[in-house]
Amino acid sequence: MSSLSSSSWGIRTSFQLLTPLILLVLVISIFYFTQDDNGSSLNKLDPLSPLSSPSLSPPLVNNNEVIRNNNNDTRKEEVEMLQKKCDYFSGKWVFDNETYPLYDGKRCEFLSDLLGCEYFGRQDLSYQYWRWQPHHCDLPRFNATALLERLRNKRLMYVGDSLNRNQWVSMMCLVDSSIPSSLKSMQINGSLFTFKAIEYNATIEFYWAPLLVESNADDPFKHRVGDRIARTQAIEMHAKHWTHADFLIFDSYLWWRVPFMKILWGTFESPDGVYKDVEMLKGYEMALRTWSDWLEIHVNHSKTQIFWMSLSPTHERSEEWGSTGSPNCYDETQPIMKQDYWGSGSDPNMMKLVEEAIENLGKKGLNIELLNITQLSEYRKDAHLSIYRKFYDPLTKEQLANPSGYADCFHWCLPGVPDTWNEILYAYIFSSL
């Protein structure tokens, strides 16, 4: 305890020093990340057909109740309502500038000049005013105090890539204004970023592991790699940091979007490691198996609640939503209104592999909630960072002449779409009480 507090930064200094540091981290990652992905793998995907399998089963289903009250129609209806209530993933976006955004992006210390598109000169702010409305129910209103109360003496940890980091930053912004600045701290230790609400002894953490398994992109600051290499059999170096979290939220998607992944048997240091190019889906499956095995053996099922964020869609090709203006998400200001819109940035085969992995864990008694946020995010071509972000190198004349060429259509402006992911996570955390 004492070593922890002595090693944590002084609170006041921590915020002065750390805000720029965090921004730096985020900026670097986003920069490298997008550099790395630009144009390469993402354009090589098969066009996707809309998916039509049934949606996720609701978290509040209570079959006993249904049976017990079988002969009471009023009650039965209520229960059915409750069940429906929990399909948060099918719905529509409605314009709501009364209750949204959930926080002021200009005041969240974790955003200032990053992910906060407004700071970077985005004029059209309508992307902040959309509320996700599930078809058969309402999402509970996010209450930061209630969440912190729920997290008292607990650890909530996001694990994955920069999209999960996007969501982590969103969560910090969602609770930020409810905590006086003298009562929070931020600590960075290797790949682990720990935000702490001191009064609650609650932490909201992020662990950088873009492929979940070990890889050559594991450095949280410098992960620009030409040729991605994954050790699909090795996860413990990362996973040992997750074991004691109370809530684990995983994602891993975009870094896998290459036709072939180089897989390493052996260690990075060892001269006799065996490298092999493996078809991406196969590699993804191998990594998910390693991840599953690890969770099954190391995580205390009755203590830790585990979530998987389904893939975050990209909006790289505007012809898919029938736009004739910019070639991608650049300049988009309205959501897609076409029901069930699905773009080629979302790979249903990868989603299926995740669903299978989660199903198999379920059979072994380890319950993982799949938060199926892909469809709802698909509609939001208007909500990506686009060009409203930080750039490391000054943009060249050629670049400036063609803004869509450097638009980021992967990550999301905050306030924005990841806030909705967190509202859904919030609903699940409370529905499990």
Ligand X SMILES: *[C@@H]1O[C@H](CO)[C@@H](O)[C@H](O)[C@H]1NC(C)=O
Asked if 200 and 152 count as a contact pair (C-beta separation under 8 A), the reply is yes
β partners of residue 249: 158, 307
Measured distance CA(326)–CA(22) in Å, rounded: 32
Q: How far is the CB of 187 from ligand X (least distance, A)?
A: 7
Q: Does 145 bind ligand X (CB under 6 A)?
A: yes
The two structure tokens encoding residue 137: 């129910």
Q: How far is the CB of 238 from ligand X (least distance, A)?
A: 10
The answer for 39, left when phi > 0, alpha when psi is -120 to 50, beta otherwise, is left
β partners of residue 189: 192
Q: How far is the CB of 145 from ligand X (least distance, A)?
A: 4
Q: Which is nearer to ligand X, 244 or 276 (CB)?
A: 244
Q: Which is nearer to ligand X, 7 or 13 (CB)?
A: 7
Q: How far is the CB of 132 from ligand X (least distance, A)?
A: 14
Q: Does 72 bind ligand X (CB under 6 A)?
A: yes
Among 83, 252, 375, 420, the residue binding ligand X under the rule CB under 6 A is 375
Q: Does 135 bind ligand X (CB under 6 A)?
A: no
The two structure tokens encoding residue 42: 């993402």
Per DSSP, 320 falls in state G
Q: Does 370 bind ligand X (CB under 6 A)?
A: yes
Q: Which is nearer to ligand X, 31 or 129 (CB)?
A: 129
Asked if 235 and 213 count as a contact pair (C-beta separation under 8 A), the reply is yes
Query: Which among 146-154, 157-165, 210-218, 424-432 is the span making contact with ligand X, rule CB under 6 A?
Result: 146-154
Q: Does 49 bind ligand X (CB under 6 A)?
A: no
Among 189, 270, 349, 402, the residue binding ligand X under the rule CB under 6 A is 189
Asked if 162 and 33 count as a contact pair (C-beta separation under 8 A), the reply is yes
Q: How far is the CB of 203 from ligand X (least distance, A)?
A: 6
Measured distance CA(310)–CA(74) in Å, rounded: 36
Active site residues: 162, 408, 411
Nearest residue to ligand X, using CB?
Answer: 51
- Alpha-helical (H) ranges within 95-246 are 144-150, 162-176, 236-239
Q: Which is nearer to ligand X, 155 or 380 (CB)?
A: 155
Q: Which is nearer to ligand X, 190 or 325 (CB)?
A: 190
Q: Give exposure, 206-237, as e/b (b: 16+ Cβ within 10 Å).
A: bbbbbbbbbbbbbbbeebeeeebbbbbbbbee
Asked if 256 and 211 count as a contact pair (C-beta separation under 8 A), the reply is yes
The HSE-up count of residue 308 (CA atoms within 13 Å, CB side) is 25
Among 43, 62, 97, 267, the residue binding ligand X under the rule CB under 6 A is 97
Q: Does 198 bind ligand X (CB under 6 A)?
A: no
Q: Which is nearer to ligand X, 145 or 349 (CB)?
A: 145
Query: Which among 49-57, 106-114, 165-173, 268-276 is the span making contact with ligand X, rule CB under 6 A?
Result: 49-57
Query: Which among 115-123, 144-152, 209-217, 290-298 is the span making contact with ligand X, rule CB under 6 A?
Result: 144-152
**Among candidate residues 94, 201, 90, the one with its CA nearest the CA of residue 154:** 201
**Among candidate residues 432, 428, 433, 375, the one with its CA nearest the CA of residue 140:** 428
Among 112, 229, 355, 430, the residue binding ligand X under the rule CB under 6 A is 355
Q: How far from 164 is each of 145, 171, 212, CA to CA, in Å?
A: 22, 10, 12
Binding mask 277-306 for ligand X (x = CB under 6 A): -----------------------x-xx---
Q: Does 62 bind ligand X (CB under 6 A)?
A: no
CB atoms within 10 A of CB 414: 29
Query: Which among 131-139, 140-148, 312-320, 380-388 is the span making contact with ligand X, rule CB under 6 A?
Result: 140-148
β partners of residue 193: 188, 206
Q: Which is nearer to ligand X, 250 or 406 (CB)?
A: 250
Binding site for ligand X (CB under 6 A): 7, 51, 53, 55-56, 72, 74-75, 97-98, 143, 145-146, 149, 153-155, 189-190, 201, 203, 300, 302-303, 355, 370, 372, 374-375
